[in-house]
Structure 1
């Protein structure tokens, strides 16, 4: 065991965060610590590292256990050192050795003493064993993985914003390789490429990792155990987040049934007591029943901490087919060219996710579309477009002296106060919170108010910049549900892959100053990109190393042929059309089969099924057949897709 809680109770003022909790963290475990906002997840991490002492119970730590703890409070650290120097300070022992070796070297030059030579040689050997000759390369590799360029490495740490500083501190922490890493919202300050890099790095990390995160996608890929802080108790689930969701639903159902059965038992016995109490001959029996009920270990009713309120968008008017036309767009900040003669179109019904690394211009393009950023070129609104733009800087438009409820009333939504309070509950403002003045809210709370205002705006075109940044998982799911029902058009920027995968039907990416469009959801875009990379790697291998130029950059999307006089190969075109049709049919069959699989899995999770043997056998056989069919269809999908790519390249 590395660290453990033994019957720990912790109270923060009058509020109990956790009660009689026992939790032992073992070497190499990958744990996700989850819970609604405000339940005390970050506080529990502070108890684990010893920043807070428990009210009762003990916190146990191995004598040699080293702990790395990444949290928001670290941002108070400041220095004139370069980010490379800050990250290198993770290797404290190696740096100390280097100083000792340098001092011994100077002494050896002066004296030539044999004892000094032996000490010098021993220290060099120790440095080699500690990997001291590789620390610079390793540090640069980690910093680059987290999104820093070579030019950034020698820039002073104090020049960077909070998000980039947090990346430096994360790099330092993982380079130190503690036995246990405690990471509080590590993906909050990362873009998609950096999150993917961190995932791969942590999957091979030689130590235990505990992660507090609202990023379901990240948790699903990273953890093998979920610890939920719920109603002051710790609940353990041996699986990733997806497993937790299914298992929790089963546990809640079982607890509810057990509660109802116990309530029936209590009511029956209470009726007996009432009947027997008046009769002297039965009084002893009544007393016995009452004692038995008093000793009963009561099962709690299943209460949902946050009700499943529905967020509904309302659209006043239907726009034309085209929402926005972008043509010959160009935008640069000094030498940093964001867009160069870019062209794109947003059509009615599009739900676009604008993705890519930080600094590529996602938010800039969103502001250009919203007409709040200068640019050269043409952008043109379509007919009847009623737009609403949500971004962090929109917080300045909030009226500081209004209460939250008053701010919502001024949106012209025609919603009642009851409806507005229900909506605000989805954004973590409950009860008297809605009467708070805007001026006393934190940055995160103001952002949630601004997002709630966007939702009730009745717009038919939404532009959302990082809308999930200050929401917990439950609220993100509510927002996903609302956006899926939304009848309007939207474009969003987000690094939450679960959110993107569940909302977008198109992907936009800025590549070499152009807007590349992929017509399909995020998961298909990821699979397509992987196939393209695989095809490029295969092609490069076949061509041989001599034909690959070092400066060659991977092409994100295959470019259409430019030459106008190339004769059309009719047979090739016919075969391409046939494969496209086959691809569409296979995709439809695969989606249909996946829906069947989900239904059968739901049936198999129903305890009532196992009371009917014939029905159970029939359902199980159907499930096995659907799994086999799914494997065949996925294989066929891969084959047809590869064939299609080959034919498109031949055109």
Structure 2
């Protein structure tokens, strides 16, 4: 065990977060810590690192265990140092050694002292042991994986926004390689390529990882164990998030059945006691039954903490066939071109997801479609009868700070009753008296949820949503997905939540080469297509090399007249024999390469399957097999090229 809780009770004010909870984190575990908003996931991480002390029980930690803890409060850190220097802070001892080696080197040049030479040698040896010469390369690799370009590395940390700062601190933390990494919502500030990079990095991370996340896709691919805070208890499930969902349903069902059976039994016994307690002949028996009933361990009813409230959209008008058209649109920010001469069309029934890396202009394109962003050239044409509603972070500024949440919702003109509005707000995590809070006292996340609720309650037939799931818990995301599936209007959204995108979009837009590339299909189909295209491209590049050899070789020098014609015939026959041998080899190599490519494609498909990631052993074996097959293909390709060149050479001789 590295770290854990033993019979811990923790109270936060008047509220109990966990009661008599035990949880031990073992080496190399991949754990997803989950629970509804407000159940205390982040608080529990603070108990683990010692920021909060438990009311009862103990927090246990093995001697020498190191912990890395990534959380939102780290954003208060500020510095003029470059982001590379901040991330290099992970290697304190190596940086100190660099200074000492430099100082000792200068002293050694001056004095040639033997003691200084020994110290210098010791420092060099320690530097070598710590792999200190590679820290710059490692740091750059991790920062680039998290979305920073080479040019960014020397920019001051303080120039970056909160999301990018969090990436730098995440880079520093994973470079420190603690025994346990505690990550609180690590994907919140990452784009898709960075999330995919982090998944791969953490899968091979040598320590244990505990992740608090609302990203189901990420949890499914990353974790092999789920720890849930539910009804002030810790429940553990061995498997990924998908396994947990099925297993929890079974557990709840079994507990519900056990509770109902026990209630039937209790009622039956109580009827017996009530009926016979007054009869002298049965009084002792009734008393005995009562004692037995008092001692019985009561099974708790399974509370539905979050009832399945439905979000229902209403659409007032049916729009024309085409909602919006972009014609030859160009948008630039100074020298930075976002899109150039780009054209696209949004049709009735389209549910489009705009995806890709940060900085490619997804939100800018969404604002152009919404008509709130100017562009340099081209035309934006709005369709007939389109009633739009646009949700983005800047919408927060439009909220009336003096309104209560409920009043703000009433002003949307939805004609919904107070009860209906309260029900809807419950989906966005505003229950009970929370709806009477003033907008001005809300946090940024709470304001974002109010703005999203306002977008949903409008009777728009075209929704434009920029990161709508950012401040929602898993349950609310599910409710939103369900609502958007039933929504009769059209929508375009920007989101880094792959699960949300997969469940809601029927088209994918990607900004590539300053153009809008459209894929008709779901996100999973799009990923599969991209992988297929990449594999085909790779194969085409490999085939291109021998294909180049097909260019007719330079004419061989005219053979010298043979002194003996029989000797010439013998040479030709020998060359013919050699040629046939190489042609057979060439055919065999071709067959082997094709077989291995089929095998490689199957393994690639397995690596793209989330189920493979849920089993660490299976993933490692599959990845190892994939590497082995790829290496064999590379070797055979080299032989293939050599054989082909030899055939060309021999053909010239025959």
TM-score category of the 2 structures, normalised to the smaller one: 0.7 to 0.9
Q: Is there any run of 5+ residues in structure 2 with no aligned partner, and where?
A: 549-654
Equivalent in the alignment of 1:412: 413
Q: Is there any run of 5+ residues in structure 1 with no aligned partner, and where?
A: 548-651
Aligned equivalents of 2:13, 2:379: Cα separation in 1: 58
Displacement of 1:219 in angstroms is 0.2
Equivalent in the alignment of 2:423: 422
Equivalent in the alignment of 2:485: 484
Displacement of 1:542 in angstroms is 2.4
Deviations 1:56-79 (A, max 9, x none): 000000111000000000001011
Equivalent in the alignment of 2:279: 279
Aligned equivalents of 1:158, 1:211: Cα separation in 2: 27
Residues 222-301 of structure 1 mapped to structure 2, 5 A cutoff:
222-301=222-301
Query: Tell me, what secondary structure is at the counterpart of 2:127?
Result: helix
Equivalent in the alignment of 2:612: none
Query: Tell me, what secondary structure is at the counterpart of 2:510?
Result: strand
Aligned equivalents of 1:287, 1:119: Cα separation in 2: 86
Residues 329-368 of structure 1 mapped to structure 2, 5 A cutoff:
329-368=329-368
Displacement of 1:426 in angstroms is 0.2
Deviations 1:145-166 (A, max 9, x none): 1000111100110110010000
Displacement of 1:545 in angstroms is 11
Aligned equivalents of 1:19, 1:383: Cα separation in 2: 59
Query: Tell me, what secondary structure is at the counterpart of 1:23?
Result: strand
Deviates more, 1:192-201 or 1:116-125: 116-125
Deviations 1:592-619 (A, max 9, x none): xxxxxxxxxxxxxxxxxxxxxxxxxxxx
Aligned equivalents of 2:128, 2:542: Cα separation in 1: 35
Query: Tell me, what secondary structure is at the counterpart of 1:327?
Result: strand
Aligned equivalents of 2:48, 2:540: Cα separation in 1: 51
Aligned equivalents of 2:100, 2:280: Cα separation in 1: 93
Number of aligned residue pairs: 547
Equivalent in the alignment of 1:104: 104
Deviations 1:332-387 (A, max 9, x none): 11111001000000000000000000100000000000000001210101111111
Displacement of 1:456 in angstroms is 1.0
Equivalent in the alignment of 1:20: 20
Aligned equivalents of 2:338, 2:324: Cα separation in 1: 19
Equivalent in the alignment of 1:195: 195
Displacement of 1:34 in angstroms is 0.2
Query: Tell me, what secondary structure is at the counterpart of 1:281?
Result: coil
Equivalent in the alignment of 1:209: 209
Equivalent in the alignment of 1:460: 461
Equivalent in the alignment of 1:444: 445
Deviations 1:275-334 (A, max 9, x none): 120012222211111111111110011111010000010000101110101101000111
Equivalent in the alignment of 1:506: 507
Aligned equivalents of 2:541, 2:297: Cα separation in 1: 68
- CA change 1:267–1:354 in 2 (3 A) is same
Aligned equivalents of 1:49, 1:421: Cα separation in 2: 38
Displacement of 1:544 in angstroms is 3.8
Query: Tell me, what secondary structure is at the counterpart of 1:188?
Result: helix
Query: Tell me, what secondary structure is at the counterpart of 1:125?
Result: helix
Deviations 1:155-191 (A, max 9, x none): 1101100100000000000000000000000000001
Query: Tell me, what secondary structure is at the counterpart of 1:302?
Result: coil
Is the counterpart of residue 494 in structure 1 residue 495 in structure 2? Answer: yes
Residues 505-584 of structure 1 mapped to structure 2, 5 A cutoff:
505-544=506-545
Aligned equivalents of 1:370, 1:183: Cα separation in 2: 36
Equivalent in the alignment of 1:575: none
Query: Tell me, what secondary structure is at the counterpart of 2:281?
Result: helix
Displacement of 1:541 in angstroms is 2.1
Q: TM-score, normalised by structure 1?
A: 0.83
Query: Tell me, what secondary structure is at the counterpart of 1:313?
Result: coil
Equivalent in the alignment of 1:554: none
Aligned equivalents of 1:544, 1:361: Cα separation in 2: 37
Q: TM-score, normalised by structure 2?
A: 0.83
Aligned equivalents of 1:224, 1:526: Cα separation in 2: 23
Equivalent in the alignment of 1:125: 125
CA root-mean-square deviation = 1.1
